Amino acid sequence: MNEHDQKNIKRFQELAERARQSAVYTYSTFHSPETAGLAYDVAQEREIAMWGGTENSERVLVRFGDPEEIAYEEPFPLRVLYVRPKQEKFADRLTHRDFLGAILNLGIERDVIGDIIVTEHSAYFFALEEMADYICSGLERVRHTAVKCSISEEVPADCLPKLREENVTVASPRLDAIIAKLYHLSRGEAKKLFDSEKITVNGKLCKNPETVLKENSRVSVRGYGKLEYRGEEHTTKKGKTGITIWRYV
């Protein structure tokens, strides 16, 4: 385990212990799926919840606290921010990298910011609640484009990734076989993705190629995409398995 992971595990341990002792929810900053999955090394699954602003967010906050013990619910401490050109006709065509660079140039750390959803000239992004006003007041330019940043209630549905249903036949219901089929890889290439820790299932790092998914499991394959496994549909005469998945497009 590298130094960065050790540091995150130590922080997760502190948050988990504080939640247990104080009977309140505690929250991390934003983490990638791989780092967020380290939370399961320090707490039980019932004590962990993750949310990044949408159902398919890549970067998430990790919440510690057992809802049965704490006996109440509360929203995650994040806000949706909307940044748009002051004069769209003079705006550059801006990329994810442009928006992220402008935000970080305000002197804040990457873990303050969640996913950035880019439209043609504008972007929605998620930030820690405590930093939202600071970002809104300071973000005035992205590259050469003058912009205005404000707090939004939500990301419009038409800006979010869409799900497409697919029915596919795989040699085995194992996760490595599903990934190989969907992304046109050999089983050996699929296995390397597990070895290089690029696969998460329901936010938890998955290192076992033989994993058999439960219905409605969410799978992220870094560098390839995300999907939801809906379940087995049938078995062919040749012993192959027909499955249904929803793929993010």
pLDDT for 180-200, tens place per residue? 999 999 989 999 999 998 998
The pLDDT assigned to 78 comes to 98
Q: What is the pLDDT of residues 114-165, one digit of tens each?
A: 999 998 889 999 999 999 999 999 999 999 999 999 999 999 988 888 889 9
The residue ranking higher by pLDDT, 249 or 245, is 245
The pLDDT assigned to 64 comes to 98
Distance between CA 237 and CA 8 in Å, rounded? 49
Question: Which of 19, 53, 70 corresponds to the end of one domain?
Answer: 70
Assess whether 65 and 139 both reside in one domain.
Answer: no
Q: What is the pLDDT of residues 46-88, one digit of tens each?
A: 999 999 999 888 899 999 999 999 999 999 999 999 999 999 8
Q: What is the pLDDT of residues 98-109, one digit of tens each?
A: 999 999 999 999
Assess whether 167 and 218 both reside in one domain.
Answer: yes
Question: Which of 159, 175, 199 corresponds to the end of one domain?
Answer: 159
**Relative orientation angle of helices 187-195 and 175-182, to the nearest 10 degrees:** 110
Q: CATH number of the domain that 48 lies in?
A: 3.30.1370.160
Question: Which of 140, 159, 178 corresponds to the end of one domain?
Answer: 159
In terms of pTM, does the model score above 0.85?
A: no
Nearest to 100 by CA among 68, 125, 79, 78: 125
* The pLDDT of residue 1 is above 70: no
Assess whether 34 and 92 both reside in one domain.
Answer: no
Assess whether 49 and 101 both reside in one domain.
Answer: no
Distance between CA 118 and CA 92 in Å, rounded? 13
For 17, the domain range is 3-70
Q: What is the pLDDT of residues 205-231, one digit of tens each?
A: 899 999 999 998 989 898 898 899 999
Assess whether 153 and 220 both reside in one domain.
Answer: no
Number of domains in the chain: 3
* The pLDDT of residue 3 is above 90: no
Q: CATH number of the domain that 194 lies in?
A: 3.10.290.10
* The pLDDT of residue 28 is above 70: yes
Distance between CA 114 and CA 130 in Å, rounded? 14
